[in-house]
Structure 1
Amino acid sequence: MFPSNFARVLTRAWLVALFFGIFCGSLLPFSEALRFYVASNDKKCLKEEIHKNVVLTGEYEFSDSVGHTTTVHVSDTRGHTLYNRENFPEARGKFAFTADEYDIFEICFQMHGPTHQQKINREVNLVLKHGVEAKNYEDLAKAEKLKPLEVELRRLEDLSDSIVQDFAYMRQREEEMRDTNESTNSRVLYLSIFSMLCLLGLATWQVLYLRRYFKSKKLID
């Protein structure tokens, strides 16, 4: 009797924890929406920091403007092109890629229009998703025939893995910064010792020089 009641309590506690996790996960921001304006024949770039092996997806949409085209270009700090779409008249599109290593990626929008006309500001709506946010769980559920609760469990599992990876990255950065601080402190210590030895040598040389000078002038014995 007691083991059965205890198992029921554990089951209820597990379900409460599960639904609490799902509720907390639903409160997290799963997309980053940006809205800005780009004038005709002008260019505006944004930068996004992405960790290694993380998927980044972007959906963009422009306000309608007759006779205007757009170029969208995505590159990393080494100048490698990850996405490039030039002079297209459509008002929307999307891109996706996986980061091979940690980097800061640049997303550029360039508007093309008639040069003899007055500049027109076109509105750009950009939605960026990365990591767990970029994963399509609807397609995953259809492919693996998962139930809604199983999909939420998979999403929470991926989210927890992402959080663990973020903490591991923060710990790695902390270790790197600590090593840099220790190296800097060691260099400062060595430089201080070297400076003290130089000052001590200069003071000794001055004493010996003045002693010889005063002896040559017969001011001291």
Structure 2
Amino acid sequence: MKIYTRTGDDGTTSLFNGLRVPKNEPHVDAYGTVDELNSTLGLAASLLAPELDSNARTPTQKESLESSLKQIRYIQNRLFDLGAHLATPLTSSDAESIARTGFKDAVSELLEKWMDAMDADLPKLTTFIVPGGHAAASALHMARTICRRAERQMVPLLEQGDLCGAGYKFMNRLSDYLFMVSRHVNILTGDRDVLWSKDTTV
């Protein structure tokens, strides 16, 4: 089966319910940004994976890094689920399609559990953080900002009843998780958060 279909040459695409819409339609815009977020998490995972084989890491650090990597991979799969949910507008799809692409609160609850566990290991924040540190942490910060953009794009869909509350809640929790895990990765790899400074000299 060829990857190209030529059906989008007129600037339209199909949602999961078969409706043809412009490629800049709000649902398409939102799940396109979710796909961008997923790709950025893939980059973060690729940068993090070599740390599991590094001789500079203790067994405890490697175990925590492996746990973070598994969490990121889990989130990537859930983002695929969210993309399907966004491509199935609740106000114009049949009950079977909606049931098949539904989203559950349990995903957000799991993120909260992971954040609570990380919080115990993170030093208290006394100032803003400038994205940086380990390359994987920087990629996670980038993912966080993309996540926030996707969240903003999803607000109109939530307001018009085309998105379930659980899907939106997941994105809100995810941006918080990505902020925390970026800091967690910096600690585990021996890097440091880059702290904001008022100093204007170079």
More contact order relative to length (CA 8 Å, sep ≥ 6): 2
What TM-score does the superposition give when structure 1 sets the normalisation length?
0.19
Which has the larger helix fraction?
2
Pair member with larger Rg: 1
What TM-score does the superposition give when structure 2 sets the normalisation length?
0.21
Which has the larger strand fraction?
1
